[in-house]
A and B are shown apart, each in its own frame.
Chain A
Amino acid sequence: MPFLGHPLTAVITTLKTITLTHVIFTYAYSPGLGSGPSMLPTFLATADWFVTDRRFRRGRGVSVGDCVTYAIPVEPGQEGVKRVLGLPGDYVLLNSPPDADLGVKGRGSRAIATAGENMIQVPKGHCYIVGDNLPWSRDSRDFGPLPMGLIKGKVVAKMSFDGWWPPNWFSKVESGLRSPPPTATGASHPPS
């Protein structure tokens, strides 16, 4: 095979490619495939590809509202995607807002209503993560605050392989936390 040159050259080139890919996927960007109903409607339940920025690993530079990938503490070896609601020292509701819980579970139980009003301060070195689809997510509401060290990266984009132009495959994943628009409170009024 003259076009590959010396066999050793081919081996070295292959090894270089593998190690370079490893470094990029571990320390820069990595693709991931997520499935499950916990992050609806941000991510589909069936399967959605996304890009993780690994520079945010161990929670460095993560802000409230970001989507992160993390090692699930109760499922060794598995990773999940959730939204950050609180960073060390922040204050969060321990459960979902009470209206949300009651709406879906429909039990009308006063115990759920009062439990929904409990709050905690996120301890040092931890964050509080919750899925976007509140009734169908297992997250900090079950296993408590997540150690920052288990954060693997921040989800920066979704991928959908439609069309032939690769830049069109990516759509940015925005922070969930935003300033309410000035008209938000009066949004129900039709413009005059």
Chain B
Amino acid sequence: MTPPCRVFPASQLESEIQVNDDGRRRKGGKIDLSACELLSMVQYECKIDHPEASGSPVRCWPVQRWFRRCRDNRGAFTVETTMWEGKTLPVEAEKASKTS
């Protein structure tokens, strides 16, 4: 049986990740999300045009999700930053286009 989980809004992500799954403050300093390794995952919204027909065309639209792999003294953990990246990614995109 899954234990009850505390739900928090994505806007509090930066403060929530400072605490590990024991409820204690992480050792190894404050976690800075923007310094963690950025990872990408693409999921989809697919539509089967004629679900009753076996050879029906399937159309899919990508849904971009972002993750960051951060480290504390205990090891690595993954943080989904799909909602958080909106604030930082345009800046990085600008940087990338300038350097290329």
Q: Known contacts A40-B46, A117-B9, A119-B10: does B40 contact A184 (CB below 8 Å)?
A: yes
When distances are taken between beta carbons in the complex, the residues of chain A under 8 Å from B58 are 40-41, 45
Q: Mark B61-76, 1 if CB is under 8 A from A, else 0.
A: 1011101000000000
When distances are taken between beta carbons in the complex, the residues of chain A under 8 Å from B43 are 83, 100, 130, 132-134, 176
Number of A-B contacts (CB under 8 A): 145
Q: Known contacts A97-B65, A120-B7, A177-B41: does B77 contact A45 (CB below 8 Å)?
A: no
Interface assignment of A31: CB less than 8 Å from any CB of chain B = no
When distances are taken between beta carbons in the complex, the residues of chain B under 8 Å from A5 are none
Interface assignment of A13: CB less than 8 Å from any CB of chain B = no
Query: B50 CB to closest chain A CB, in angstroms?
Result: 12
Q: Mark A2-31, 1 if CB is under 8 A from B, else 0.
A: 000000000000000000000000000000
Chain B interface extent, by class: 35 or more
Query: A174 CB to closest chain B CB, in angstroms?
Result: 11
5 pairs of A and B residues whose beta carbons are closest in the complex: A185-B93, A40-B46, A89-B21, A100-B63, A117-B10
| Beyond known contacts A88-B21, A94-B7, A180-B38: 9 more, CB 8 A cutoff | A65-B39, A91-B16, A118-B8, A120-B6, A121-B21, A133-B46, A134-B63, A145-B2, A180-B40
Q: A residues near B, CB below 8 A?
A: 37, 40-41, 45-46, 64-65, 83, 85-94, 96-100, 103-104, 114, 117-124, 126, 130, 132-136, 144-145, 147, 176-180, 182-186, 189
